[in-house]
Structures are given as C-alpha cells and as structure tokens.
C-alpha cells in the first residue's frame, strides 16, 4: 500500500471516529437513559481533555521541530509581525493551560451557580460522578479520539517546521463549544428537559468537528467565503486555529 493510500485510509478512519465518538453520548441518553445533566458536565470535561492533549502537542512540536532553522525563521517572522518577542516554546504549554484553564474555571462556576437544583451536592461532586459512573465511557471515547488525532499528526508529521506559537489558539474552538454548553445548557437545565439539549449539543459539536476536518477542502472554502478576498483572508486565519 503506497503512502497516498495510507494517508487516505487514515483520514477516512479519523472521519469515522469523529462521527462515532460524537454520537455515543446521544445513543447513551436515548437508549440507555444516561443522565443528560451529567452528560453536559462530561462535555465540559472533554474540553479539559482536549487542552491537556494540546499541551502535549505544543511540547512535541517544540522539541521535535523547534531547533530546526526553518522553524526558528518562521517563529522570528511571527514575533516580528506581532510586534514583540515570542515566548519560549518550553513554557508555552503551561501558559496555554493557564489562559484557557481560567476560562474553563469561570464557566464552570457560572454553570454551578445557576444550576444548583440540577447538580445537588455541588458541581465538583457531580463531575466526579460523571467521570466515574456510566459516563466514563463518554470520557473514554473523547480521550481515544484525541489520542488518535495526536498519533496521526505525529505519523504524518503534520506540524513539520511549525513554531509552537502558531498552534497556541487551536483550543479556541473547544472554548467556543464550551460557551454554548454554558449558555444553552443553563437555559435547558433551569427550565427543565435536558434531553433535548443533548441533541443540540451533539449536533453543534459534531458540526464543528466536521467543519475543521474538511477545512482544507476547496469546495467548502468557496462555499463559506463566496470567493470574497476578505472572507478568504479570515478563512485562512481561522485554519490556524484548527
């Protein structure tokens, strides 16, 4: 099997994983009566899992490619364009976790504040229940998906000669989904009926994952940007956060 065929097979495999692992929570709620409220917390914890994997990704990219002249040149150009010096790659994962971790903590406190009735015993107690009970399968599927993505990136050398600073904002889309979790989740929890919300959450998460999976597709780019130069510029900027 040639290299092109292997890459294509791996890509289809990842697409299948994205679809399957995103629909596991929906199957659990509909057919196995999983607690929809706790599932919302499981999605929150998926963001934490994604952040931890991204920290590993940043370290890997720094230690694997950071000392290469081409990587250093790109990093210097980035720093010049941003009007300042770049942060040492070895410290960047810690800084990333601190920045996005703060957003996660604030959103968690907000959710716990207006959803006390839905989470008796406190938000952290219910997160523990979600992680150790039947929803452990959900977290396991999220973790496996992140692990698969990381290994595929390593095998394909996806970030060859890429400065780790260029990947700093990748978790932004996870924070975006998390914002939707807090806003929409809080609405459904307060007014009752969390099960319909699970359908919304799964649909939104799956749509975002599929969009970023196909983001390099020329037809998708043309559809989103309508061939407008300014829109194409913003599209290319968004790709840096994929």
Contact 165, 159 (CB under 8 A): no
Report the distance separating Cα 212 and Cα 47, nearest Å. 16
pTM value surpassing 0.85? no
Q: What is the pLDDT of residue 59?
A: 92
Of 55, 60, 82, give the one whose Cα is nearest residue 71.
Answer: 60
Structure confidence by residue, pLDDT tens digits, 185-217: 656 665 655 566 677 777 777 887 777 777 766
Q: What is the pLDDT of residue 53?
A: 92
Contact 123, 111 (CB under 8 A): yes
Q: What percent of the chain has pLDDT over 90?
A: 3
Contact 134, 28 (CB under 8 A): yes
In this structure, of 98-102, 134-138, 144-148, the range with the lowest mean pLDDT score is 134-138
Of 202, 183, 185, 181, give the one whose Cα is nearest residue 194.
Answer: 185
Contact 41, 127 (CB under 8 A): yes
């Amino acid at each position: 099997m040639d290299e092109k065929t292997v890459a294509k097979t791996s890509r289809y495999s990842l697409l299948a994983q994205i679809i399957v692992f995103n629909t596991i929570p929906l199957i659990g709620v509909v057919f196995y009566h999983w607690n929809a409220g706790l599932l919302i917390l499981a999605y929150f914890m998926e963001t934490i899992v994604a952040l931890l994997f991204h920290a590993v990704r940043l370290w890997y990219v720094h230690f694997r490619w950071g000392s290469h002249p081409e990587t250093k040149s790109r990093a210097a150009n980035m720093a010049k364009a941003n009007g300042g010096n770049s942060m040492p790659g070895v410290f960047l994962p810690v800084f990333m976790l601190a920045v996005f971790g703060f957003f996660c903590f604030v959103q968690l406190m907000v959710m716990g504040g207006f959803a006390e009735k839905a989470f008796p015993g406190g938000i952290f107690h219910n997160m523990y229940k979600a992680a150790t009970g039947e929803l452990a399968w959900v977290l396991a599927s999220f973790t496996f998906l992140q692990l698969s993505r990381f290994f595929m990136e390593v095998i394909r050398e996806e970030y060859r000669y890429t400065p780790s600073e260029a990947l700093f904002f990748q978790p932004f889309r996870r924070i975006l989904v998390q914002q939707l979790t807090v806003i929409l989740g809080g609405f459904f929890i307060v007014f009752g009926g969390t099960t319909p919300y699970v359908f919304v959450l799964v649909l939104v998460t799956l749509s975002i994952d599929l969009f970023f999976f196909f983001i390099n597709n020329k037809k998708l780019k043309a559809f989103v940007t309508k061939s407008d130069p300014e829109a194409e510029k913003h599209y290319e900027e968004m790709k840096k956060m994929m």
